[in-house]
Structures are given as C-alpha cells and as structure tokens.
Amino acid sequence: MVMLSGGALAETIKVGVIGPFSGPFAIQGKNFKAGIDAYQALHGSKAGNDDIQIIYRDVPQADPAQSKALAQELVVKEGVQYLAGFYFTPDAMAVTPLLKQANVPLVVMNAATSVIVTKSPLVVRTSFTTWQTSAPMAKVAKERGARKAITVVSDYGPGVDAENAFKTSFTGVGGEVVGTIRMPLSTNDFSPIMQRVKDSGADTLFAFLPSGPTTLGFVKAYNENGLAKAGVKLLAPGDLTQESDLPALGQAAEGLLTTFHYAVSHDSAENKKFVEAARKAIGNPSELSFPAVGAYDGMHVIYKMIEATAGKQDAQKAVDAVKGLAWESPRGPVSIDPESRHITQNIYLREVAKAEDGSYYNKEIATFEKQGDPGLAASK
C-alpha cells in the first residue's frame, strides 16, 4: 500500500485469469493473454490509482474440478479481487458457486453457454453466446435457398445451445431440420458423421464445435468426404473459421460463410489499434483470434469496476457499476445489458476470402446490429 499525496491509498489489485495455456488449446489461452497485454499496452497497467497485477492459471482442457480448485487457490492464497478468462463453459460453471462468499466478480472472456450469467449475479460476460452467433445464421441459410438442414454439434452447453438456436430460428423462417447429431467433445474422427450427413438428404449442414484442433479437423473432413461436391453447404458460427486456423485450412476454407461477433479484418480505427497491439503481444501475427477481443473488452470492464470501487473489494458494487456500460470495442459498438450482464453487440456475416497476398481472411459482408442474447429469453 502506498500513500498518495491526496491521501488516497494505492493498492495492487490482483486479477486471476484461468484459461488453456498449454496443450491442444494453448493458442486460445495465448489469445487471452494477447488481449490482456494489448489492453495494458494501450491503456496502462493502472486503473484509477491502483496497479493491476494479472495472475495466470492453466486449465489445458475442459476440467471443472481443476478450474474450481485453481479459482479457490487464487482467491484464498493469492487474494485476487477479480476472476476472469474461462475458455470452456464447464470451467466457468464450476466457479460461479464460489463468487458470493469470496466477494469476487467473474468476467467471462469466452465461455458461451447462455445460462452461465444466471448462475450468479456476480458474472459479467464480454464474449458471445452460441445462441447469439447461431440464430442469425438461420436467416442467412433461408435467404440463400436452404430448405433442409441437419445440425451437428459438440454435446455440451454451447453445442446444445447452438443446435436449439439454429433449429428454432430456421423452422421459424420456414426451414426444415431433418436431423440433429450431438457428438462427444472428444470426437476427432468425423468421417462417420459426414456419411450420416450425406445420408440425411439435407442440403445444409449447420455445425458448432469449440474452436481448437477439432474445428480444423471438422472442416477438413467436410471437404475430404466430398460433402461440398455432393451439394451440401456448410454453415456455422465463426468458431469454425477462426483466423488462426485459416493458414492450415487454405483453399479448403475459401467461400465458407460464418456468423460471429468478431473478425480480425473488422474495418475500424479501434480495431486497427487493437490488432497492432495484440499482434505485437502474441508474436506470430497469424495466431491472432477471437478470444483476444473477449479478453481485451473483459479488461475494459475490470478497469471500470476497479475505478468505480476505488480499488476496495466490493463485488456487487463493482458489477453494478458496469451494468449498461457502453463503449466502442474493436468488434464494433457494444454494451453490457443491465439485466443479463451479457454483452450486446453486432453479429457479422463473413465469408472466407483470399487477400492480395494469397492469405485467407474472414471478410465481413453483412451486419445484424445490436444483438442481445436470445438464449436467455428462450430458456425462461
């Protein structure tokens, strides 16, 4: 503690960040860190009078027990005043019961199942939900002539939400869902699933898997099993074409349509600054992907919370202070819905396109403005 000239006390506020920093999803955790580093590079490492210290803990794959144990350790031994990060839904869900007693807000920087924010009044989310990103895709599908769709999703929270979002929205615009396939999170041989898709007679495959090695494998399997040739169109939320996968997918990804809250190519001054700082932080520019923007905006929210509480530990006051907060994110205009504490944002339709230098990128081609989370209304 340092006494400042005006009599205020400067503290070091600790923020505990849990994510996958090693193993198959390490690049996603690396993006959390790049977003946080970019925020501090552009806005400093102080919020108000207080110094901010980030403490990272690694949960390589979805592992609720490990996530909970590390969150407890961060609160009890490290004395963190904020918890943040959380790539996978089960890891965030496991921590929500701890927040009230610990007097700690949780800022979700990725996990995308709608229900997470309802598990504690101390949760705020700056990423997206799969309801939010999937529902607009049903409209796109219909407009582009899809009639019969089959859904394929990972069998856990965000996958089930994506399936329900697409099904509800697609049937709402007169489409037909001829089949729904849920596969275990650990699935990595997709050939039998592609065969079932072919056999279903669907003209459209809607798919959600959490971004990582399996999304890369899934898109490859779609191509290698001849689905495109058989006339089955692949539509998905943007998890399937994250920028860091595009070099490995190459031409196989060209023309794929996805809906998502963020593209690295987003054309705005705010995004230019962000991309420059985040690329510097991550080292390899082609590794920059969406978890970085969830983390960057998560830090914005945490800085506002720290300023509003002058560094004192008061989780409810901190959360109340960001209800309704609106700002210009690298993804576009956003705000925190005061009721759900989830982020309201534009969802963009993007097409994987080839740049002049031969690289591939997600090109934004249409905007669904100011989307809330339809999943919360649907689960009431």
What is the Cα–Cα distance from 105 to 83, expressed in whole angstroms?
A: 6
Q: Which is nearer to ligand PHB, 42 or 115 (CB)?
A: 115
**Can you spell out the DSSP letters for 257-279?**
EEEES--TT--SHHHHHHHHHHH
Residue 183 binds to ligand PHB (criterion: CB under 6 A):
no
| Residue 342 DSSP symbol | B
Identify residues 194-213 at the interface with ligand PHB (CB under 6 A). 210-211
Residue 132 binds to ligand PHB (criterion: CB under 6 A):
no
Residue 19 binds to ligand PHB (criterion: CB under 6 A):
no
Identify the residue whose tokens are 């008061």.
314
Query: Among 11, 37, 239, 297, which residue sits at the site for ligand PHB (rule: CB under 6 A)?
Result: 239
9's CB contacts (< 8 A; 6+ apart) are 1, 2, 3, 49, 311
Residue 1 beta carbon to ligand PHB: minimum distance, rounded to whole angstroms: 38
**Can you spell out the DSSP letters for 292-323?**
HHHHHHHHHHHHHHHHHTTT---HHHHHHHHT
Residue 194 beta carbon to ligand PHB: minimum distance, rounded to whole angstroms: 21
- 63-71, 108-116, 189-197, 266-274 -> range binding ligand PHB (CB under 6 A): 108-116
Pattern of binders to ligand PHB over 34-73, x per CB under 6 A? ----------------------------------------
Identify the residue whose tokens are 């190519």.
265
Q: Which is nearer to ligand PHB, 209 or 306 (CB)?
A: 209
**Can you spell out the DSSP letters for 109-151?**
SS---GGGGGS-TTEEE-S--HHHHHHHHHHHHHHTT--EEEE
Residue 259 binds to ligand PHB (criterion: CB under 6 A):
no
Q: Which is nearer to ligand PHB, 13 or 92 (CB)?
A: 92
Query: Among 32, 87, 170, 262, which residue sits at the site for ligand PHB (rule: CB under 6 A)?
Result: 87
What is the Cα–Cα distance from 296 to 178, expressed in whole angstroms?
A: 40
Residue 133 binds to ligand PHB (criterion: CB under 6 A):
no
- Binding interface with ligand PHB (CB under 6 A): 87-89, 110-113, 158, 210-211, 239
